[in-house]
């Protein structure tokens, strides 16, 4: 079933159709309706696949950890011998991650991952810990804060913990995150990557072929890709 879903999602016809429909409010509402119908329970499928590839003693990067929903589960799976690197730019969400009970095997990085090192802006809605908060191009928008950004390759050098599994949920910054971790992607013991793909936000950011770009990056680095649904992709080392 995953291979069929992958073929449909990655077809140029479907990519073009979704891009066309997103150009007007009626089309966006229709896509949202269809997505909700098709992806009912999708998060459980994604979660089940993620859990299946995590082993005791693993190093797992949770990129876009938010308040630590997945972080806590991953900590339980890797055990005391493993390590979890939770990357989260929102100050309050990062603080929530630090409060997670652990045996010293959790490292919280209060930053966002991207394709460069420096600073950028982060847009916060009414809930400062909402998973929908995301990077912004401008600090002139209300409710934005300046945050640090770094690359996955720099995180690897600074932390010294190369990942066996990576989970990415970054509200439209998926491509930049992948482009900033070329050394990480080449690490032979990295066996699985799980990504929530925010197609609408990616298109708003100018990535109209986002699905193709993400798939190509992963395939070119030795991963087979499958979609667990229309929003989540899993990449398994060949």
Token reading at 95: 């603080």
Report the chain's terminal Cα–Cα distance, integer Å: 19
* Residue 130 lies inside a defined structural domain of this protein: no
* Residue 185 lies inside a defined structural domain of this protein: yes
* Residue 121 lies inside a defined structural domain of this protein: no
* Residue 118 lies inside a defined structural domain of this protein: no
* Residue 22 lies inside a defined structural domain of this protein: yes
**Residue 5, pLDDT above cutoff 70:** no
Tally of structural domains, the chain:
1
Residues contacting residue 145 through CB under 8 Å, at least 6 positions apart: 91, 121, 122, 124
* Residue 202 lies inside a defined structural domain of this protein: yes
**Residue 109, pLDDT above cutoff 60:** yes
* Residue 59 lies inside a defined structural domain of this protein: yes
Q: What is the CATH number of the domain that holds 22?
A: 3.40.50.150
**Residue 2, pLDDT above cutoff 80:** no
pLDDT digits (tens, 9 = 90+) for 19-49: 666 566 666 567 666 655 555 555 678 899 9
Domain span holding position 22: 2-110+162-237
According to DSSP, the residues that pair with 60 across neighbouring strands are 84, 165
* Residue 166 lies inside a defined structural domain of this protein: yes
pLDDT digits (tens, 9 = 90+) for 53-98: 999 999 999 999 999 999 999 999 999 999 999 999 999 999 999 9
């Amino acid at each position: 079933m995953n291979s069929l879903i992958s073929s449909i999602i990655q077809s140029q016809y479907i990519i073009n159709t979704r891009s066309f429909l997103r150009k007007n409010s009626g089309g966006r509402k229709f896509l949202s309706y269809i997505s909700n119908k098709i992806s009912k329970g999708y998060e459980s499928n994604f979660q089940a696949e993620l859990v299946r590839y995590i082993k005791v003693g693993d190093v797992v990067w949770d990129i876009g950890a938010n308040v630590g929903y997945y972080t806590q589960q991953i900590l339980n799976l890797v055990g005391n011998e493993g390590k979890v690197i939770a990357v989260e730019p929102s100050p309050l969400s990062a603080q929530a991650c630090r409060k997670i009970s652990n045996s010293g095997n959790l490292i919280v990085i209060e930053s966002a991952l991207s394709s460069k090192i420096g600073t950028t802006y982060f847009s916060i809605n009414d809930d400062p810990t909402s998973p929908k908060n995301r990077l912004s191009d401008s600090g002139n928008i209300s409710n934005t804060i300046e945050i640090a950004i770094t690359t996955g390759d720099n995180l690897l050098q600074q932390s010294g913990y190369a990942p066996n599994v990576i989970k990415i949920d970054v509200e439209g910054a998926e491509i930049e995150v992948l482009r900033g971790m070329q050394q990480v992607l080449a690490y032979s013991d990295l066996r699985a990557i799980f990504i929530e793909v925010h197609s609408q936000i990616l298109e708003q950011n100018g990535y109209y072929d986002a699905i193709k770009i993400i798939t190509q990056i992963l395939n070119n680095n030795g991963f087979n890709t499958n979609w667990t649904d229309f929003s989540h992709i899993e990449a398994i080392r060949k």
